[in-house]
Each structure stands twice: as structure tokens, then as C-alpha cells.
Amino acid sequence: MNICMVGTGYVGLVAGTCLADFGMNVTCVDIDKEKIDRLNRGEVPIYEIGLSELIARNVKLERLRFSTGLAEAVDRSLVVFLAVGTPEGEGGRPDLRALYEVARQVGACMTEYKVIAIKSTVPVGTSREIRRIVRQSLKTPIDFDIVSNPEFLREGAAINDFLRPDRIILGSDSERALAIMRDLYRPLYLLKKPIVSTSNETAELIKYAANTMLALRISYINEIANLCDLVGADVYDVAVALGMDKRIGPKFLHPGPGFGGSCFPKDVKALAHLAQEHDYEFRIVDAVVAVNAHQREVILNKSRQTLGGFQGKTVTILGLSFKPDTDDTRESPAIHMAQALLREGAAVQAYDPAAMNEAKRVLPQIKCDNNPYSACENSDLVMIVTEWNEFRDLDLARVRTLVRTPNLYDTRNLYEPSQVRALGFNYLCTGRSAVK
């Protein structure tokens, strides 16, 4: 099958590459010429484990190509995926301009039947609007179908998630399109991955409902952690015990500085906005947004109190990406912390295994070091903000000799409090401050 993937970002590049690996002929299209040129030179613009090898293999086998030429790629393909960004717009409403522009362009160059599959995360009703835009842009009347096919991959585990999804959602009222999409996903179906066929509107809502549910769990455990600090309980044991309950399960119950990334923050706000548009006050979603913003303040307040203000102090941030195993710093809690620290007069030193270039683009004032130890030199407070594996077993005795003032804020609870305190640190954490 010939596939066109419009938008070659985290989702489009991974999805396009994995489909090529199933043996399909995939053209990944983007308006960013520099990105396409880099990919054609064999450079991979994002950090994602295993991706460069997979791209190289499929390019070599001539099943995967990169182009800025949309018309040619559409012409060659039966399925056209739309995977462009849908960032947060005004008032939490997703900004769909890029997506609508692509729909116009795809409609304008279609000469025969296509399935247009929306992979981008979009509000309910978007598939209807895309159908209207494509129809309006057609040069001659041509049959086409729209399938809502939201993506659930996680950065840092994207290839595995795409190849082994918990489920595949296909929203469409066309049996013809559903049959084509089932055929496309057949390699996954052979791995017994269930396909949920539903309406476009339901498929669109499922994505927001899923992401908000996960964000809600993070906010919930963060509130429990804050309460643990007040009542002298240990959030680690609370979370473990909660997770043992089969009705609850252990995932997304790790307290920390709140969720970030390019999806959860904007998707939660988009769901709140959708509810507002329908005059529905979605209280729990509003609370998730507020709790998440508050969690960052909780950490900044404790840090401020510890240092007696940030002015003139040096703070080290370990981990800049919004989560481990990615270089994505969009809405990263670490970036938020660094901005607040700089605003209040601190000098910020940082280290991240993959995201320093990305971070420097938004925050050129931070001093990035090429290893975690030099980033700790003369620091008044070391904050572990992202739980990269390499921060789980730091030589803290060495860190203790490098810092100016021994304050360690382990926002992700990677260490045992007693061991860190035994090294002479003032140890701060999330929901475990009473643990001896």
C-alpha cells in the first residue's frame, strides 16, 4: 500500500517509519525544507531510541522517502495521514490552522479516491470540517473518506508504542475506508491488537478523554504527595499500595513537578474548552489544569524558602526534557522552573542527556554543562527535575564536594532520603519529607 504522511514531526516520522517497516511505501511530507533536507542526508531531527536505525533501514530498502512535494506524494497514495501539529491556541482552543491548510492542499491535488486519516489530536467536529474543506478544494468531484485515527504513542517509547498499541481507534462512517484502514493495520492485528471502530466524533473524543484521564492521575498523586508532606506520610508507599489494587493499577501514579510535554497540557485545556463551548462546566478537568500549575509553584516555593530567595543564588537543574528518553522540551516543568529562577535573579546551570540544544533555543541564558557533575559546581541547590536513568545513581558524595550549599531537591523521589541526608545534604522531595 502507498501511504502519504503529512507532517514529519514526532508522530508523523515515527508512524511513517513504522508503516514502512511493515513493507508499505511511505512518503513523509513536511513544509519544513530544512527538516526534509536533513532527513534526506540521513540525519534524524528528533531523539527517539531506535528511530535512526529504523529510518536508515527503510530508506535503504526504498520504502521510506522524505519530500516537500505534497501533490506528488498524495497522487501516489491511497491513504493520506494528516499528522501536523495542533498546538494550544487562544483560550485553550487547539490551533487547527496548519491542519486546515493541509486539508485544502490535499483536496486541491486529489485526482482519485483517497482515505484521509487524521492522526493529529483534534477536537470533536474537526473531521466534519476537514470533509467540508477537502470537498470545497477539489478541482473535480472525487469520492473520498475521512477516518479519525488518533495516535497514542509516547515520546521516549514511540516505536514500541506504535508497533504494540493497546488499541487502534478508527472513526468513520465509511465501510470502504474502514476496510482499507483495517488492511493497513493488519500487521498489528496479527499481534492481536484490538481495533475499535466507531464514529468520527467518538474517536476524536477518545483521545482527549484518555490523555485527560492520565493527566488526572498525575495531578491526583501530586495532591496526595503534598498531603503526605503535611501529615507525615510516605507517598511512595501510598502509590505502591494504590497500584496493587487491580481496579486502580500502578501507572501514572508517580509524584513530581507536574505533567508537561506537547500533549497533556494542551489536550487537557482543549477538553475543558470543548466542554465550555457546549456550556458544560467540566469541573474535574479545570481542577487538573489548576493542580498542575500549582504543583510547579509548590516546588518553587519550597526552593525559594530553602534558599531565602533566589537572587544571587546558583541553581542546578538536572533534566530539561519534559520526560526521560526524549529531547522534547515543550511545556517541560524544568523549563518553567528555569524561567522562574532566572526571573528572580538566580543563575541556572543545567545538564540533560539529550535536550540541551532544544532548551538553549528557548532559554539561551542557562549555562549547559556536558556532564551532571560540572553542572553541580558551586551550586546552592541541585534540582533533579526529569528522571533520566543516569540521574538514578549519581555519585552524590562527589556532588556534595562540588556544590557550594548542600541542598538537593529530588522532585521525582529517585533517592532514599536517609542515604542522601547521611551525605550531609538538606534533602527535599515530593511527599516523602517525613521518611527517616
Active-site positions read: 263
How far is 76 from 2, CA to CA, in rounded Å?
7
Cβ-proximal residue to ligand NAD, closest one: 9
Span of 84-92, 374-382, 406-414, 416-424 interacting with ligand NAD by CB under 6 A: 84-92
Q: Which CB, 146 or 307, lies closer to ligand NAD?
A: 146
Q: Convert residues 17-56 into a mask of x (bound to ligand NAD by CB under 6 A) and - (unbound).
A: ------------xxxx--x---------------------
- Our finding on whether 162 is near ligand NAD (CB under 6 A) is no
Q: Which CB, 36 or 235, lies closer to ligand NAD?
A: 36
Secondary structure in 3-state letters for 56-92: HHHHHCCCEEEECCHHHHHHHCCEEEECCCCCECHHH
Name the one residue in this structure whose C-alpha cell is 493488519: 186
State in angstroms the smallest separation of the CB of 241 from ligand NAD.
30
83, 169, 235, 242: residue in contact with ligand NAD (rule CB under 6 A): 83
How far is 146 from 114, CA to CA, in rounded Å?
9
* Under 8 Å between Cβ of 234 and 434: yes
How far is 191 from 403, CA to CA, in rounded Å?
51
Q: What DSSP letter does each residue of 129-142 carry, written as one string?
A: HHHHHHHHH-SS--
Q: Which CB, 85 or 171, lies closer to ligand NAD?
A: 85
- Our finding on whether 334 is near ligand NAD (CB under 6 A) is no
Three-state SS at 234: coil
Residues 247-266 binding ligand NAD (CB under 6 A) are: 262-263
- Our finding on whether 77 is near ligand NAD (CB under 6 A) is no
Q: Which CB, 7 or 319, lies closer to ligand NAD?
A: 7
Q: 148 pairs with which residues across the strands?
A: 118, 171
Q: Which CB, 59 or 98, lies closer to ligand NAD?
A: 98
Residues 1-20 binding ligand NAD (CB under 6 A) are: 6-12
How far is 149 from 56, CA to CA, in rounded Å?
26
How far is 391 from 354, CA to CA, in rounded Å?
13
Q: Convert residues 206-245 into a mask of x (bound to ligand NAD by CB under 6 A) and - (unbound).
A: ----------------------------------------
- Our finding on whether 151 is near ligand NAD (CB under 6 A) is yes
Strands, E assignment, 119-180:
144-148, 168-171
Q: Which CB, 35 or 432, lies closer to ligand NAD?
A: 35
State in angstroms the smallest separation of the CB of 31 from ligand NAD.
4
Residues 85-124 binding ligand NAD (CB under 6 A) are: 85-86, 98, 101-102, 120-121
Cα 374 to Cα 235, 370, 426, distances in angstroms: 32, 7, 20
Q: Which CB, 35 or 114, lies closer to ligand NAD?
A: 35
- Our finding on whether 84 is near ligand NAD (CB under 6 A) is yes
Residues 362-401 binding ligand NAD (CB under 6 A) are: none
Side-chain half-sphere exposure of 248, counting CA atoms within 13 A: 16
Q: Which CB, 30 or 145, lies closer to ligand NAD?
A: 30
Q: What DSSP letter does each residue of 354-404 carry, written as one string?
A: S-HHHHHHH-TTSEE-SSHHHHTTT-SEEEE-S--GGGTT--HHHHHHH-S
State in angstroms the smallest separation of the CB of 248 from ligand NAD.
24
How far is 232 from 237, CA to CA, in rounded Å?
12
State in angstroms the smallest separation of the CB of 390 from ligand NAD.
22
State in angstroms the smallest separation of the CB of 6 from ligand NAD.
5
Cell representation of residue 323: 520526560
Identity of the residue numbered 320? L
Cα 4 to Cα 165, 356, 397, distances in angstroms: 21, 32, 53
State in angstroms the smallest separation of the CB of 267 from ligand NAD.
7
State in angstroms the smallest separation of the CB of 106 from ligand NAD.
10
Q: Which residues bind ligand NAD (CB under 6 A)?
A: 6-12, 29-32, 35, 83-86, 98, 101-102, 120-121, 151, 153, 155, 262-263
